[in-house]
């Protein structure tokens, strides 16, 4: 009898691989399950099920179980252990560093089991990248590419590691090689797009991201890059990207030291100038305030313009859309408060309303960009309180409603805004 009537586990698995290569993932999963029904010890089917399941939020937890079964069947199978590392990484939320480090241990074990596996080295590189150990991510990615120059995962990780270390020359050479080797490689266009974004060439970045999405509509990294290229049409955000690119060449510890050093210098200089020239002291204080606000609000300000662009906003997910609406709305409310306060001769009340709105925007900007598994809830509550405080105190000033405790609500929004600048700046519950 033929396999059509009595399929073997290997035949069912082979059909699953064919369907998976055609992006028919659900049909491939059915074939892998069939292979396991015929042979409960078919390790490769467990591995492929894990790879199929890990990219969807509702099935990602099942990918860990499938990968663990594969490792239990063949503990010294480097491929199975690498897939387990990927599954653990896919299920680890931002801020769950212990879970990512557990995945890293499996990836390191896979490399030890098979030092000649380019896949294992590439997985190890990806985990080092997520843990922000960029030199190790670069080394592992280069090891993978030395074994297989066409390993796209390794090439993408290497490009990101080089970009985040500000090794622009090496990154440009890598991207040029990728595009020359295969102009239809969506990951190469994605890497080229991110490089262009960081260089401030948002038009070139847009071209590369659009091409990457044409080649692979499911490329989430390219979609995110496309949105960044839209945001980068705003010059304040381009400056923010260049500043971030400059800071990326330093370790997190050095970045913290630079921030603290800058704040200490600001405090010393402003305190000295107060005794010499109050006007110059005011200029320095104002410049520092503008710098802090710019660092926190440049993205939300730029997102507001994407929301107003009928074409560009189609690329936004709901959370990104509301970031532009809320943060942008609060920024424009602050500007309007200043203008109306001046026009209506409201004096300090108009300035207070503007200040409350701008600091409420800071809190909301931190909440919308935070993916930390705990912090997103903490910052979210703070953002809601600050937003309500801004609305309440602004209505009190401009609608002349004389609302009770309006000053207290406004002060709460200010305090939350100041706290957000420090907590977000030092990465406290923030990713």
Domains of the chain: 166-233 (1.25.40.10), 250-425 (no CATH)
Determine the average pLDDT of the residues in 144-152.
94
Cα–Cα dist 367/361, whole Å: 10
Residue 409 phi, psi (nearest 5): -65, -40
Determine the average pLDDT of the residues in 388-410.
91
End-to-end alpha carbon distance in the chain: 58
Calculate the average pLDDT of the chain: 91
Contacting residues for 375 by C-beta, under 8 A, at least 6 apart:
95, 428, 429, 430, 431
- Of the candidates 141, 143, 186, 147, the one whose C-alpha atom is nearest the C-alpha of residue 160 is 141
The answer to whether residue 3 scores a pLDDT higher than 70 is no
The residue with tokens 């002060």 is 411
The answer to whether residue 218 scores a pLDDT higher than 90 is no
- Of the candidates 366, 362, 425, 367, the one whose C-alpha atom is nearest the C-alpha of residue 390 is 362
- Residue 2 has what pLDDT? 43
Determine the average pLDDT of the residues in 266-286.
87
More confident residue, 134 or 57: 134
The answer to whether residue 412 scores a pLDDT higher than 90 is yes
- Residue 368 has what pLDDT? 95
The answer to whether residue 171 scores a pLDDT higher than 70 is yes
Determine the average pLDDT of the residues in 161-165.
92
Cα–Cα dist 393/407, whole Å: 7
Cα–Cα dist 168/382, whole Å: 38
Share of the chain above pLDDT 70, in %: 99
| Sequence-separated contacts (24+) of 70-74 with Cβ below 8 Å | 70/43, 70/44, 70/46, 73/41, 73/43, 73/46, 74/43
Determine the average pLDDT of the residues in 324-353.
93
How many other CB atoms are found less than 10 A from the CB of residue 163? 22
- Of the candidates 328, 360, 345, the one whose C-alpha atom is nearest the C-alpha of residue 397 is 345
- Of the candidates 348, 43, 180, the one whose C-alpha atom is nearest the C-alpha of residue 189 is 180
- How many residues make up the chain in this entry? 431
- Residue 1 has what pLDDT? 39
Report how far apart, in Å, the C-alpha atoms of 339 and of each of 38, 231, 419 are: 74, 26, 27
- Residue 6 has what pLDDT? 59
- Residue 253 has what pLDDT? 76
Query: Tell me: the pLDDT tens digits for 6-52?
Result: 579 999 999 999 998 888 999 999 999 999 999 999 999 999 999 99
Instruction: Output Rg (C-alpha) for the chain, integer angstroms.
Output: 26
Cα–Cα dist 293/286, whole Å: 11
Identify whether the C-beta of residue 23 lies closer than 8 Å to the C-beta of residue 3: no
Determine the average pLDDT of the residues in 199-211.
93
Model confidence, pTM: 0.81
- Of the candidates 221, 85, 105, 91, the one whose C-alpha atom is nearest the C-alpha of residue 152 is 221
Helix, strand or coil, per DSSP, at residue 353: helix
């Amino acid at each position: 009898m033929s396999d059509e009537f009595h399929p073997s586990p290997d035949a069912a698995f082979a059909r699953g691989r064919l369907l998976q290569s055609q992006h028919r993932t659900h049909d491939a999963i059915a074939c892998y399950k069939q292979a396991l029904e015929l042979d409960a010890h078919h390790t490769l089917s467990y591995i492929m099920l894990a790879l199929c399941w890990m990219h969807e939020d509702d099935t990602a937890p099942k990918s860990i179980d499938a990968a663990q079964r594969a490792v239990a069947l063949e503990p010294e199978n480097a491929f199975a252990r690498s897939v387990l590392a990927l599954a653990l990484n896919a299920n680890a939320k931002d801020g769950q560093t212990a879970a990512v480090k557990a995945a890293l241990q499996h990836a390191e074990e896979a490399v030890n089991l098979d030092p000649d596996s380019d896949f294992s080295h590439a997985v190890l590189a990806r985990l080092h990248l997520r843990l922000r150990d960029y030199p190790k991510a670069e080394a592992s990615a280069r090891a993978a590419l030395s074994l297989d120059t066409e390993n796209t995962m390794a090439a993408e990780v290497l490009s990101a590691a080089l970009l985040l270390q500000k090794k622009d020359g090496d990154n440009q050479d890598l991207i040029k090689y990728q595009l020359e080797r295969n102009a239809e490689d969506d990951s190469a266009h994605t890497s080229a797009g991110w490089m262009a974004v960081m260089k401030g060439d948002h038009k070139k970045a847009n071209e590369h991201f659009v091409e990457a999405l044409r080649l692979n509509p499911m490329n989430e990294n390219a979609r995110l890059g496309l949105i960044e290229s839209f945001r980068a049409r705003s010059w304040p955000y381009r400056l923010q990207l260049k500043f971030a690119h400059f800071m990326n060449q330093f370790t997190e510890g050095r970045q913290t030291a630079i921030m603290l050093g800058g704040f200490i210098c600001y405090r010393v200089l402003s305190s000295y100038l107060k005794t010499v020239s109050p006007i110059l002291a005011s200029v320095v204080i104002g410049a520092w305030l503008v710098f802090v606000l710019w660092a926190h609000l440049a993205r939300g300000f730029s997102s507001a313009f994407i929301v107003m662009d009928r074409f560009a906003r189609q690329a936004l997910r709901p959370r990104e859309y509301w970031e532009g609406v809320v943060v942008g709305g609060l920024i424009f409310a602050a500007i309007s408060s200043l203008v109306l306060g001046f026009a209506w001769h409201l004096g300090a009340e108009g300035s207070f309303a503007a200040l409350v709105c701008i600091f409420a925007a800071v809190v909301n900007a931190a909440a919308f960009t935070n993916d930390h598994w705990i912090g997103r809830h903490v910052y979210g509550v703070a953002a809601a309180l600050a937003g309500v405080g801004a609305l309440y105190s602004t209505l009190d000033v401009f609608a002349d409603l004389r609302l009770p405790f309006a000053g207290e609500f406004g002060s709460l929004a200010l305090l939350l805004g100041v706290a957000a600048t420090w907590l977000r700046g030092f990465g406290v519950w923030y990713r």
